Structure 1
Amino acid sequence: MSMPPDPMWSPDLPGDADLVRIERLLGRYRHLPSEVPMPAVPAAPPRRHWLRALAIAGGGIAAAVLAVAVWLPWRLHWTADAPWPVTGDAAAPALAVGGTLQTGSGQHARIAIARIGALEVSPDTRLSLVETRSGHHRIALESGHVHARVWAPPGAFGVLDGGTEVIDLGCVFDLWKHADGSGRLAVGSGWVMHSEGGRETLVPAGHALDFAPGHAGLPLRPTAAVAFADAVTALDRALRDGHRDRDAETRSAGLATPDDAFTLLSLLTRYPALADGPLYPRLAEAIGATPLDARHRAAWTGGSVHAINAWWDRMPRPPKQWWRNWRDVVP
């Protein structure tokens, strides 16, 4: 019985694609007469080359870790009452504790905040250095504008004004202060705490807060609808004066977008009794806390810290690992 031609046994016959591929892969191992040179097979790199590469990489990592371990404590350390270096149009090259820096019209200055950051001082600004030591640096801004860039543990830098404090939580922010004591705080990265008369207000990146002597407004997005911002401000003002503006309350809830959730949360935290009105369900919808929980709502209305914190936990919070905001080091 004759068999059909098979390329497996007849090398002269063409094979299919799979056979050709396998044959090509195994071809280097076929037996050839001694006078025919064997095809060169790439030799595996000696193992010591890999070990050397790993050792070099490990050494580089170890050196980097060591450098950071030395650099970071140096960056955060500052001799108590040591002056801060100043560059730009300032009259003196340093700002000492108790000293004042004043920029004139058209003048700018740059002040090193110890080693943890820098202050860009705008024209017509007056400020003084109140205290400085490792982990605690404070200035007083009398008037004008400063742009602060800080990379340090929360609370390391702050701006004082009588009973008011603007406390950096590891971030970038702008602060304006007018002669009458009013001003504005705008946060570009991270978080800032505004504290006034025992009332603390967190301001996150992308939000701004207006303040006046004895009162701080609510964090608002600069891009929020003007009608929403006006309604929230009117409601805050009315509640501060002791009455509830139902119309402003309804407009605040109706005009709020999901991006305004932090403003609503701050408003309901400051005035828990508002939770019995339209703002509570609007905030619930914005943060995905539906369906509504009647018991939680009643607890919030009663001022329960536990109920309020349950919704705060749904929001991004100031990072505990402040060093992750390392980009704030770069201007």
Structure 2
Amino acid sequence: MRKNNKLIALTAVITLLLSLNACESNGLNSNNSVESKQSQNVEAVFTPTSKPKPTNTPAPTKKPTKATTNTPAAGIKESSAYKYGGKTYKIIEVDGGDMSGSRRANVAVDVGYGDRVYWALTNKYGQLIHVIAKKVVLQDDNKEPVTSAGRYYPDEANVPGTERADLDQGHVIADSLGGVSNAYNITPQNSTLNRHGDQAYMEKVIRDAGGCKDFVATITYPDTDTQIPSHYHFEYVLKGNKVVDDFDNVDPDKVNASLTPIPKKATTTKPSNEKKELKRIDTNGNGKVTIAEAKAAGYKMPIYKDNWLYKYMDDRDGDGKVGE
């Protein structure tokens, strides 16, 4: 009986130990499961979402555009064309001393000597119709190679018509004003007009002023077959003042001689105060009196050489009267 009691006790102890061991094993597995779930939850919370990496590339910038300007009266130079008056002219290069006398149609040629830019334009008939210069720069015989006669070249282009005895190879922009001598700057011009008349006077005025700006010559013809102009129209700015010159391609002496003589005014009385009277007439105060100024002051034309006002006026043709 005592042995049986011991055996029962021993069995109970073993059973208890096995039970404890099983409990510990179950608790450990349970803890591991919780820790695993917690670990998964942590990873789910802190795993970063995918984002694009920042870059240092700067934002694209627009290329600056060229400034645009209003079209100048003298036109716009392009890479292969020159535009003026709503028309386009092909730019070609012609030697300044080319004597051939022929011209191409609808072209633009630079007829300024050296660095000067003077554009000559032809129409569809090859007639020279415009010469344009933003700035007319005088010839510099101290720095530029010129002849003893003040010429860049020994002769001028033989434009058809210049073979006539009464017509010169007339420059539109003279050598003295920086113009070359090819056919794109030469027209057959009446020799008296060219040497002593309005053309010569205009060139002298520009020279005396040291040059001019915004020069535009417009040349017209009686028909489409000839290269001999019938009329010249010039516009330019001289010391801030716009000047307009118009004259026909004729001998001014013959024209004046053909006019009906106007009776000479008997009254040539000198005013009691010449200085005061001159100041009244000479509205711009330049010491010269124009026909317009004299007329505005009440003087009738023409003004003759024996009139006190004559010496303040410009007798272009030297015939002893102004405003005829």
TM (norm. structure 2) is 0.32
Of structures 1 and 2, the one scoring higher in RCO (CA 8 A, sep 6+) is 2
Q: Which has the larger radius of gyration?
A: 2
TM (norm. structure 1) is 0.31
Richer in helix (by share): 1
Richer in strand (by share): 1
